Amino acid sequence: MNKALILVVDDEPDIRELVKDILQDEGYDVETAQDVEEAKKIQNTRQIDLVLLDIWMPGDDGISLLKYWKKNEQKTFPIVMLSGHGNVETAVEATRTGAFDFIEKPLSMEKLLLVVRQALEDDRQKKLADAYSFLAEVATNSEVQRLLSLPLKEARELFERSYLLYQLEHSEGSISRLSNLIGMERTHLYRKLKSLGINPKESI
C-alpha cells in the first residue's frame, strides 16, 4: 500500500518542521508549503491525500485557499485547519465550508495524529462508497458490457489506454505531472504510453 502524502501549509517554519517530523515518524510522506501560492503549485503536481492548513498567513489565508479548492472542485482530499488562539470561531466556520476538522495550536501530537488518521479513513470510506456506486451505475452501460465481454488482455489494454488518455488530458499533457499523479516512474510511463500507441503531444 502506498503511503499517504500529507501537505502541511503554515507560514511558521518551526511549525512546518515539527509537524513534518511527527508525520514522517509515523510513516507518512510529507510536503510543506509556506504560503497559499506554494501550496497550489504542490497540489497541481502531486497527488495529495490530506492537507493540514493554517488559518492565518501573510497574503492569502487558509480560508481563502479552502474556498478556492472547493470552488474549483479540486478539493478531492480532506483538509484539516490549524487554528491559533482566537481563531476557533473561524475554524468552526471552516468546517461548515468544507474542512474535515480543526486542531488548535499549540499542537498536541496525540490530537494531531488522531485527527490525521480519522480524516484519511473517512476519506477512504467515502471514495470506496463512491466507487461502488459508480460501478453499480456503469455496469448497465452497453459500452461497459462490451468491455466486460472481451478477453482479459484486450479489456485491460483498452481500460489502460482510456485511463491514461483521460489522466494525460487532465495533466495538461505534462508527463511529469502525470507520473506524479498516477505514481508511475517516468521511464516506465513512457514505455507504457508507447505500448498503448499514445503520443502525449498528439493526445491533448
> What's the pLDDT score for residue 179?
86
Give the C-alpha separation, 59 to 166, whole Å.
Answer: 35
Per-residue pLDDT, 204: 46
Run of H or E residues at 29: strand 29-33
Q: Which domain range does residue 28 map to?
A: 5-127
CA-wise closest residue to 69 among 34, 44, 90:
44
Per-residue confidence (pLDDT) for residue 51, from 0 to 100? 97
Among 67, 92, 127, the domain-final residue is: 127
Instruction: Out of 97, 127, 157, pick the residue that ends a domain.
Output: 127
User: Reading across the β-sheet that carries 101-104, which strands appear in turn?
Assistant: 29-33, 5-9, 50-54, 79-83, 101-104
Contacts of 72 (CB under 8 A, 6+ apart): none
Asked if 145 and 64 sit in the same domain, the reply is no
**Under a CB-based contact definition with an 8 Å cutoff, are residues 33 and 60 in contact?**
no
Same domain, 122 and 166: no
Residue 60: CATH number of its domain: 3.40.50.2300
**Does some domain include residue 135?**
no
- Which regions in the chain score pLDDT beneath 70? 1-2, 73-75, 85-86, 135, 138-139, 143, 201-204
pTM of the model: 0.71
How many structural domains comprise the chain? Answer: 2
What pLDDT is recorded for position 66? 93
Contact 158, 169 (CB under 8 A): no
